[in-house]
Structure 1
């Protein structure tokens, strides 16, 4: 076979990764995309692209060293943790099995859901303070979450990237060395540089669609702030066209997360005969017992309707206090937990099904 596909335990993955690093140059690393919006794609990464990412990350962080594996090693973020540790001369610590390292100056990659729950655990906060850097990616990162981490003394660097870019290639809004970022029509983010993938396995038409003139056309929209930093607005299809108006779903979700009674929130557009798409808010109400858990929950069985008394009208007023009234959600789905994929990203397909069931 002309590719390596990670799987199994972290120890097995580390052994496979070492064999791949020491093997022939023409054997690609193949990782799956999250499949958050449909069928996962198999992304082919050359060793040169992966190592370019590993080195550029270490250069930007100003250090390299041992890593803690807190993400599934079958996705690019987890694979990169394994490879960064190996290149730095160590084997990653498996958080689920071994817990946090006792020393200092180590690294870890997390998704926002994990960090949110860990900040509610004194033991996790104490450990994260000892980390050199917490890389945070895989989804929207609200200003409130960054502020909470900073107040807790946790050094966080927000990353943006995908399997097609060998993982995070933009750190705190600035591209890594050698990486170029540009905006296309509608603010669609384009990326070029040495970390790009070869293509999708057995999908040449799809590869040609997103890989144009040396640039990878992402599915995300963004803008540059006054300092020239990339601000990721969200997926292109996160703009909800409802009643002829464009509503940015991520902005509404971030406003909901600022509500004192809301632990987590996602916003999607769901097909509607009257509005074209209705704005639906999926909300988890704050609970001390739930906030005490720092584990990454992925089971869809945990996504049940909450018994909270939080009402749609109150949340519509909350959103309208900061944004146009037309942005306010027209349906509220209260959940015990946001359904997640194995890599910690919200499962959009499961959310859409829950919205239809709750209608």
Structure 2
């Protein structure tokens, strides 16, 4: 089934129900939400775009986002949401790799200036082109999809310096959405989904089940994460649910403490993108109360590997409370989770190994990447690349990342792409990037640099990074060394770099 069918059904059943909000201002009810999606779909069809085609969205959070996303699906096409925080050159690479037929972008000129999207049409949401699309007579109903039809192309993490496009089918999105009801939280028409994290990722994936239940969809006036704004919106709108990275939760708790707030109006905060420090979630419970649910997932199994329930997080009287609080919960209803040894055999409780997951939410595969598919999809199981162990009660504890991926503030950062950016500086002859634990961001990026001459200043290195990659990816620390530690094959020993950093 086409996920946009849920929007069509809700609009028929509750056409006047409030749907899209900018802050506290109602922008559209469900009838208008569906009309906009249907009009976008018809306009795409008039351009010859439909099933089998891909349309990218490179936008920050806005009230335009969901009508565009559902309009693409309504046409039977595949949506390619791109993180709005990326550098235009990074986004252009994704658009090109996805062979997108059209791009919705805030700054079309910046996209075209990269020279990487060729003749692909690029439309701004406030342009005459989008106004004409919205004025098109809407498609009466969403184009039918089977469960195996591609619906969302999710560009996810890796260590190759380039993201991989995980093909999520209509069936994957439906399974993920229904698992939310079973394992994360119930949703009512009186609820409000607040989009403070990027709608291109976890926050946006949760829109579908809120559409199905006819809930409100709220984009903050700031378009992003402002703790004081969120606390105020929760008080005004009531029954607010949101997805947040652990660092966002920590900032929200700090803001609540500073103003003496208790989270009034917040219903549920789903946190993920990395486990929280136990001390941080304990403080969050003390300040905001039992409003938290943790999820563990990947773009390849979107938001849906394990969940640590509200009850588990809040049950301070349980003898295993602290141990469970340090875990990422138990398998989602639709997921089978195993921990495997190096040979791919299941390990007993307590033994660490690679985490694997199987279920109807797992991606179809990576776009045009048979080598990555062969490594990640083995015998029907997705090998996550993460190391952990299961306890006797089925709670999963993450130990470490098997890959060199850095997760800072809930965002994935590939070391190689940072290294490639820094190597553009003429004074940098060698560089190796690692992540190191940080109490605020979870991890921060540290670059070890070998220079051919006098070391450049921090401002110079920052500038060369922001000229090629998103600002949030640039290192927060530069360490200049005479040489990088290497093994006999010339490979940089990142473990030695971490030891060097600890010694310093």
Q: Normalization by structure 1: what TM-score?
A: 0.65
**Separation (CA, whole Å) in 1 of partners of 2:402 and 2:246:** 20
Partner of 1:290: none
Partner of 2:339: 183
User: Residue deviations 1:107-138, cap 9 Å, x none?
Assistant: 10000111111111028884745322211101
Aligned in 2, Cα 1:34/1:85: closer, same or farther, shift over 3 Å?
Answer: farther
Aligned in 2, Cα 1:111/1:219: closer, same or farther, shift over 3 Å?
Answer: same
User: Residue deviations 1:54-93, cap 9 Å, x none?
Assistant: 1111122341143111111222x03213323322223421
1:137 and 2:250 are equivalent in the alignment: no
1:151 and 2:151 are equivalent in the alignment: no
1:116 and 2:250 are equivalent in the alignment: yes
1:59 and 2:182 are equivalent in the alignment: yes
Partner of 1:213: 379
Structure 1, gaps ≥5 residues long: 240-248, 258-262, 274-296, 306-325, 334-358
**Separation (CA, whole Å) in 1 of partners of 2:181 and 2:471:** 30
Aligned in 2, Cα 1:40/1:299: closer, same or farther, shift over 3 Å?
Answer: same
Partner of 1:348: none
Aligned in 2, Cα 1:269/1:217: closer, same or farther, shift over 3 Å?
Answer: farther
**Separation (CA, whole Å) in 1 of partners of 2:195 and 2:260:** 17
1:206 shift after superposition? 1.1
1:139 shift after superposition? 1.7
Partner of 2:68: 16
1:103 shift after superposition? 3.2
Structure 2, gaps ≥5 residues long: 1-51, 75-141, 224-228, 309-328, 343-352, 406-433, 451-469, 479-495
Aligned in 2, Cα 1:108/1:62: closer, same or farther, shift over 3 Å?
Answer: closer
Q: After the TM superposition, which residues 278-357 of structure 1 pair with which residues of structure 2 at under 5 Å, given as runs?
A: 299=472, 303=476, 329-331=499-501
Partner of 1:92: 217
CA contact (8 A) 1:44 1:197 kept: yes
1:53 shift after superposition? 0.6
1:121 is paired with a residue whose SS is helix
Partner of 1:79: 204
Partner of 1:32: 155
User: Residue deviations 1:158-207, cap 9 Å, x none?
Assistant: 11001100223310111111210001115100000110111111112211
Aligned in 2, Cα 1:226/1:150: closer, same or farther, shift over 3 Å?
Answer: farther
Within the candidate set 299, 303, 306, 1:167 is matched to 303
Partner of 2:422: none
1:188 is paired with a residue whose SS is strand
- Give the stretch that moved more between structures: 39-48 or 13-22: 13-22
1:119 is paired with a residue whose SS is helix
CA radius of gyration, larger in:
2
User: Residue deviations 1:279-309, cap 9 Å, x none?
Assistant: xxxxxxxxxxxxxxxxxx964579368xxxx
**Separation (CA, whole Å) in 2 of partners of 1:125 and 1:200:** 47
Aligned in 2, Cα 1:160/1:301: closer, same or farther, shift over 3 Å?
Answer: closer
Kindly indicate whether structure 1 or structure 2 has the higher relative contact order, using CA contacts under 8 Å at least 6 residues apart.
Answer: 1
Tell me which stretches of 4 or more aligned residues in structure 1 moved more than 6 Å.
267-273
- What is the RMSD computed on CA atoms of the aligned residues? 3.6
1:18 is paired with a residue whose SS is helix
CA contact (8 A) 2:446 2:476 kept: no
**Separation (CA, whole Å) in 1 of partners of 2:259 and 2:54:** 37
Aligned in 2, Cα 1:82/1:303: closer, same or farther, shift over 3 Å?
Answer: same
Aligned in 2, Cα 1:302/1:221: closer, same or farther, shift over 3 Å?
Answer: closer
CA contact (8 A) 1:158 1:171 kept: yes
